[in-house]
Structure 1
Amino acid sequence: MLFILLLIVVWFSSWQRQWQEQEQSAQQQLLVYRTALESEIARFENVPRALQEHPVLLGALTYANDPEAIKKANLLLEQLATATGIEALYMMNDQGVVLATSNWRQPHSFAGQNYLFRPYVYDAMEGSFGEYYGVGATTGIPGYFFGLPVGNARQPQGVLAAKITLLDLEQSWTLSKNLVMAVDSDQVVTLSSSPDLKFKTLAPLTDEALARIAQTRQYYPLPLTPLALSHQQQQQLVWQGIQYQVSEVYLPKNQWRLQLWSPSRPLIQHATLVTSLTAFSIIAMILLLLYWRQRRRYILAQLRAKEELEYKVSTRTSALALSNQQLEHQVTERFQVEAKLRAMQHELIHTNRLAALGQMAASVAHEVNQPLTALKNQSINTKLLLNQGQHTQVVASLEVMGTLVDRIARLTSQLKNFAATRRKTRGECRLDEALENVLSWLNPRLTEQNISLDRSQARDLLLPIELHALEQILANILENSADALTDQPQPMITLSAQPSGLAIYDNGPGIAPELLDKVTEPFFSTKQYGKGLGLGLAIVRDLIEASDGNLTLYSPPAGGTHFILSWKVDS
Structure 2
Amino acid sequence: MANAERPAARLRHVMVLLLVLPMLWAAYAYRLKVEIDAMEGHAQQRLALLSASLDAALLRFESLPVVLAQHPQLKSLLLEPVDGARIDRTNRLLESVNDRTGASVLYLIGPDGNTLAASNWRRPESFVGENYAFRPYFQQAIDGGVGQFFAVGATTRVPGFFIAHPVRDGGRVLGVIVVKIELDPIENTWADGGESVLVVDRHGVVALSSVAAWRFSALAPLEERSREILAQTRQYYTAALAPLPLEWLDERRLGLSGREFLAVARPLPWADWEMLMLNDTAPARGAAWSTVVAVGLVLSVLLVAALYLKLRARRLRERLAEQGVLERTVAERTADLADSNARLTREIAERVGAEQKLRGAQRALIEADRLAALGQMAAGVAHELNQPLAALRTFAGNGLVLLERNRTEALRENLQQMIGLVERMARLTSQLKVFASRRQSAGGQASAWAATQVVAGWLAERLERAGIVLAFLGEDCAFPLQPQALEQVLSNLVGNAADALEGRADGRIQVRTASRDGRVWLAVEDNGPGIDPAVRDRILQPFFSTKPLGHGLGLGLPIVSDLVGGSGGRLEVDAGEGGGTVVRMSWEAAMPQREEVDDE
Cα displacement string for residues 299-345 of structure 1 (whole angstroms, at most 9, x for unaligned residues) = 666899xxxxxxxxxxxxxxxxxxxxxxxxxxxxxxxxxxxxxxxxx
User: TM (normalized to structure 1)?
Assistant: 0.52
Q: 1:295 aligns with which of 287, 309, 312?
A: 312
Q: Which residue of 1 aligns with 2:207?
A: 190
Q: Which residue of 2 aligns with 1:226?
A: 243
Do the aligned partners of 1:101 and 1:110 also contact (CA within 8 Å) in 2? yes
> What SS class does the counterpart of residue 233 from structure 1 fall into?
coil
Residue 256 in structure 1 maps to residue 273 in structure 2 = yes
Give the drift of 1:3. Answer: 1.6
Comparing both chains, which one has the higher relative contact order based on Cα–Cα distances under 8 Å and sequence gaps of 6 or more? 2
Q: Which residue of 2 aligns with 1:385?
A: none
Do the aligned partners of 1:135 and 1:142 also contact (CA within 8 Å) in 2? yes
Q: Which residue of 2 aligns with 1:33?
A: 50
Cα displacement string for residues 280-315 of structure 1 (whole angstroms, at most 9, x for unaligned residues) = 1012111111112123335666899xxxxxxxxxxx
Q: Which residue of 1 aligns with 2:298?
A: 281
How far, CA to CA, are the matches of 2:294 and 2:203 in structure 1?
Answer: 46
Do the aligned partners of 1:184 and 1:256 also contact (CA within 8 Å) in 2? yes
The code of the aligned residue for 1:188 comes to V
Do the aligned partners of 1:86 and 1:162 also contact (CA within 8 Å) in 2? yes
Q: Which residue of 2 aligns with 1:79?
A: 96
Q: Which residue of 2 aligns with 1:103?
A: 120
How far, CA to CA, are the matches of 2:194 and 2:96 in structure 1?
Answer: 39
How far, CA to CA, are the matches of 1:283 and 1:14 in structure 2?
Answer: 20
The code of the aligned residue for 1:267 comes to A
Residue 51 in structure 1 maps to residue 71 in structure 2 = no
Matches within 5 A, 1:78-157: 78-152=95-169, 154-157=171-174
**After TM superposition, where is structure 1 displaced by more than 3 Å over at least 4 residues in a row?**
152-155, 298-304
Cα displacement string for residues 94-126 of structure 1 (whole angstroms, at most 9, x for unaligned residues) = 111100111111001111111010000000011
Residue 243 in structure 1 maps to residue 263 in structure 2 = no
Q: Which residue of 2 aligns with 1:217?
A: 234
How far, CA to CA, are the matches of 2:249 and 2:295 in structure 1?
Answer: 28
How far, CA to CA, are the matches of 2:227 and 2:295 in structure 1?
Answer: 54
Q: Which residue of 1 aligns with 2:222?
A: 205
Cα displacement string for residues 229-275 of structure 1 (whole angstroms, at most 9, x for unaligned residues) = 02111111111111000011101110111111000001111111112
Do the aligned partners of 1:133 and 1:142 also contact (CA within 8 Å) in 2? yes
How far, CA to CA, are the matches of 1:96 and 1:65 in structure 2?
Answer: 15
Cα displacement string for residues 59-98 of structure 1 (whole angstroms, at most 9, x for unaligned residues) = 1111111000000000000111111111110001111110
How far, CA to CA, are the matches of 2:302 and 2:227 in structure 1?
Answer: 64
Do the aligned partners of 1:94 and 1:159 also contact (CA within 8 Å) in 2? yes
How far, CA to CA, are the matches of 1:296 and 1:124 in structure 2?
Answer: 90
Matched residues, number: 304
Q: 1:291 to 1:223 in 2, by over 3 A?
A: same
Q: Which residue of 2 aligns with 1:510?
A: none
Cα displacement string for residues 346-368 of structure 1 (whole angstroms, at most 9, x for unaligned residues) = xxxxxxxxxxxxxxxxxxxxxxx
Q: Which residue of 2 aligns with 1:421?
A: none
Give the drift of 1:153. Answer: 7.0
Give the drift of 1:2. Answer: 2.2
How far, CA to CA, are the matches of 1:169 and 1:231 in structure 2?
Answer: 27
Do the aligned partners of 1:89 and 1:162 also contact (CA within 8 Å) in 2? yes
Larger Rg: 1
The code of the aligned residue for 2:254 comes to L
Residue ranges of structure 1 left out of the alignment (5+ in a row):
305-571
Indicate the RMSD between aligned Cα atoms, in angstroms.
Answer: 1.5
Residue 62 in structure 1 maps to residue 79 in structure 2 = yes
Q: 1:241 to 1:154 in 2, by over 3 A?
A: farther
How far, CA to CA, are the matches of 1:87 and 1:224 in structure 2?
Answer: 26
Residue ranges of structure 2 left out of the alignment (5+ in a row):
1-17, 322-600
Q: Which residue of 1 aligns with 2:179?
A: 162
Do the aligned partners of 1:125 and 1:155 also contact (CA within 8 Å) in 2? no
The code of the aligned residue for 2:73 comes to V
> What SS class does the counterpart of residue 180 from structure 2 fall into?
strand
Residue 176 in structure 1 maps to residue 197 in structure 2 = no
Q: Which residue of 1 aligns with 2:41?
A: 24
How far, CA to CA, are the matches of 1:173 and 1:100 in structure 2?
Answer: 34
How far, CA to CA, are the matches of 1:50 and 1:110 in structure 2?
Answer: 21
The code of the aligned residue for 2:201 comes to D
Q: 1:5 aligns with which of 22, 28, 36?
A: 22
The code of the aligned residue for 1:142 comes to P
How far, CA to CA, are the matches of 2:193 and 2:275 in structure 1?
Answer: 14
Do the aligned partners of 1:178 and 1:263 also contact (CA within 8 Å) in 2? no
Matches within 5 A, 1:461-480: none
User: TM (normalized to structure 2)?
Assistant: 0.49
How far, CA to CA, are the matches of 2:47 and 2:57 in structure 1?
Answer: 15
How far, CA to CA, are the matches of 1:198 and 1:17 in structure 2?
Answer: 32
Cα displacement string for residues 434-460 of structure 1 (whole angstroms, at most 9, x for unaligned residues) = xxxxxxxxxxxxxxxxxxxxxxxxxxx
How far, CA to CA, are the matches of 2:170 and 2:149 in structure 1?
Answer: 20
Q: Which residue of 2 aligns with 1:430?
A: none
- Range with bigger deviation, 263-272 or 1-10: 1-10
Q: 1:265 aligns with which of 243, 268, 282?
A: 282
Do the aligned partners of 2:144 and 2:173 also contact (CA within 8 Å) in 1? yes
Cα displacement string for residues 524-569 of structure 1 (whole angstroms, at most 9, x for unaligned residues) = xxxxxxxxxxxxxxxxxxxxxxxxxxxxxxxxxxxxxxxxxxxxxx
Give the drift of 1:46. Answer: 1.1
How far, CA to CA, are the matches of 1:197 and 1:171 in structure 2?
Answer: 14
**Same amino acid, percent of matched pairs:** 33
> What SS class does the counterpart of residue 192 from structure 2 fall into?
coil
Give the drift of 1:161. Answer: 0.6
Cα displacement string for residues 422-475 of structure 1 (whole angstroms, at most 9, x for unaligned residues) = xxxxxxxxxxxxxxxxxxxxxxxxxxxxxxxxxxxxxxxxxxxxxxxxxxxxxx
How far, CA to CA, are the matches of 1:266 and 1:177 in structure 2?
Answer: 15
> What SS class does the counterpart of residue 190 from structure 1 fall into?
strand
Give the drift of 1:183. Answer: 0.7
How far, CA to CA, are the matches of 2:311 and 2:156 in structure 1?
Answer: 83
Give the drift of 1:15. Answer: 1.1
Cα displacement string for residues 26-51 of structure 1 (whole angstroms, at most 9, x for unaligned residues) = 11000000100011000011111111
Cα displacement string for residues 402-437 of structure 1 (whole angstroms, at most 9, x for unaligned residues) = xxxxxxxxxxxxxxxxxxxxxxxxxxxxxxxxxxxx
Give the drift of 1:10. Answer: 1.4
How far, CA to CA, are the matches of 1:218 and 1:18 in structure 2?
Answer: 39
